[in-house]
A = this chain, B = another copy of it.
Amino acid sequence: MGARPRGVRDPDPALRRDPGGRGAGDTARQKGGFIGRSRRRRGGDVLRLGARAGTGGRPALPPLPRPPHLVPPDPERLNEFDVIRRLSGRLPAPPAEVVVPIGDDCAVLRLGDGLWVAAADMLVEGRHFEASWATPRDVGFKAVAVNASDVAAMGGTPRFVLASGGGADPETTLGCMEGLFEACEEFGAYPLGGDTTGSPQLVVDVAILGELRGPPVLRSGARAGDLLAVTGELGASAAGLLALMGGDDRERLVRKHLRPEPRVLAGRAAARLGARAMIDLSDGLASDVRHVSERSGVRCCVDLGLLPVADDAREYVSSLGRDPEMLAATGGEDYELLISAPEGVMEALAEESDVPVTVVGEVVPGDGVVFLRDGEPVGDLSGWDHFRKG
């Protein structure tokens, strides 16, 4: 083990992972430039490398309207991160059951002889979705899916859900709860209870309890020499959001936005095979990889040319005059997993995963995140506004 997540007590045996995984012999690979190697690796399909080169041309189309939650913050005011920062300083010492407190995808609890993960996520109309885009059933479904994704990112299995929420009329509330039940059934979680209520805007909050069969995969375990890979595809959800905003008929992309599929099997396989760090891609790769870098005390290098952007997303986003790779890196809400693991682990994972696993970069000594495109650094993308053309 190396660095521990900040704010965590002395190492807990629950967190002990095989330090070398299957790729223990790969530390010598830290030296070479990662892009060249990644590009070479792309030739083989062991890791199902699905990425292709950027498209380049960007016709000057008018900017689309931005959803309300993307309005830039007033610098005079607190933002959400200020709120979290102010609160996290006031946390009391955690009780003995808390193996990992707030700060990762889930908190980790030892209850009896078992390890459990717990998280909650809320969706609010006008903030996370518009009623004209998403049915109440979609919203209920997504509320469970995004929480199951947090469980997947720890290597856990969704087990129990508490769900609260409702809308302006009982039909809306019923639709939302039906979507919740549908997702619970699909992802194997049992709805323990919760609260139905009226609300001027549809709002739904899901708290989830997931089970671990081994140590959790934290954000803090990435080590120089690891590869960075993502499951599935990137950018489709943001492309679907653009289609919803523009009223365009892009059914598959819209579905990727409204009904994300948490990568539970892949997450569990990654944990079992020895992945060192994992996070789910909710805010966008550019933001989320930063958490891995900061928590692990390493530099994460990502090649935009390697991002797995599906053909239809690439074509649609390009047709809007937007940059598919930039959208894939910053668009968010893909609910795919970003995994840091030695090469041998990644190969085994690609072999048995139910979804594609695409190497998009690597971990090197140092700090910060570097995005490269055609071999050139493109700077920090974490604040890049993917709904404004640059």
Given contacts A83-B177, A207-B120, contact A106 B193 (CB under 8 A): yes
Residues of B within 8 A of A209 (CB): 118, 209
Are A102 and B192 in contact, with the CB atoms below 8 A? yes
In the complex the two chains form, what is the Cα distance from A256 to B121 in whole Å? 30
A150 to chain B, nearest CB (A): 10
Name the residue on B nearest A123 (C-beta). Answer: B197
A171 at the interface (CB under 8 A from B): yes
A174 at the interface (CB under 8 A from B): yes
Are B120 and A163 in contact, with the CB atoms below 8 A? yes
Are B77 and A160 in contact, with the CB atoms below 8 A? no
Residues of B within 8 A of A119 (CB): 162, 193-194
- Per-residue CB contact flags for chain A residues 113-153 toward chain B (1 = under 8 Å, else 0) read 11010111110101110000000000000000000000000
* Count of interface residues, chain A, beta-carbon cutoff 8 Å: 70
Given contacts A120-B195, A124-B199, contact A181 B112 (CB under 8 A): no
Given contacts A77-B169, A203-B199, A205-B122, contact A178 B114 (CB under 8 A): no
Residues of B within 8 A of A94 (CB): 190
In the complex the two chains form, what is the Cα distance from A198 to B124 in whole Å? 8
Number of copies: 2
Are B122 and A78 in contact, with the CB atoms below 8 A? no
Residues of B within 8 A of A84 (CB): 196
A179 to chain B, nearest CB (A): 11
Residues of B within 8 A of A165 (CB): 122, 205
Stretch touching chain B among A21-29, A85-93, A292-300: A85-93
- Per-residue CB contact flags for chain A residues 220-250 toward chain B (1 = under 8 Å, else 0) read 0000000000000000000000000000000
Residues of B within 8 A of A114 (CB): 111-112
In the complex the two chains form, what is the Cα distance from A111 to B166 in whole Å? 30
A86 to chain B, nearest CB (A): 6
Are B181 and A87 in contact, with the CB atoms below 8 A? yes
Given contacts A87-B181, A112-B111, contact A193 B160 (CB under 8 A): no
Q: Within the complex, which residue of B78, B87, B101, B196 is in contact with A171, where a contact is CB–CB below 8 Å? A: B78
Are A190 and B80 in contact, with the CB atoms below 8 A? no
Taking beta carbons and an 8 Å cutoff, which residues of A are in contact with B?
69, 77-80, 82-84, 86-87, 90-92, 94-95, 97-98, 101-103, 106-107, 109, 111-114, 116, 118-122, 124, 126-128, 159-160, 162-166, 169-171, 173-174, 177-178, 181, 184-185, 190-201, 203, 205, 207, 209
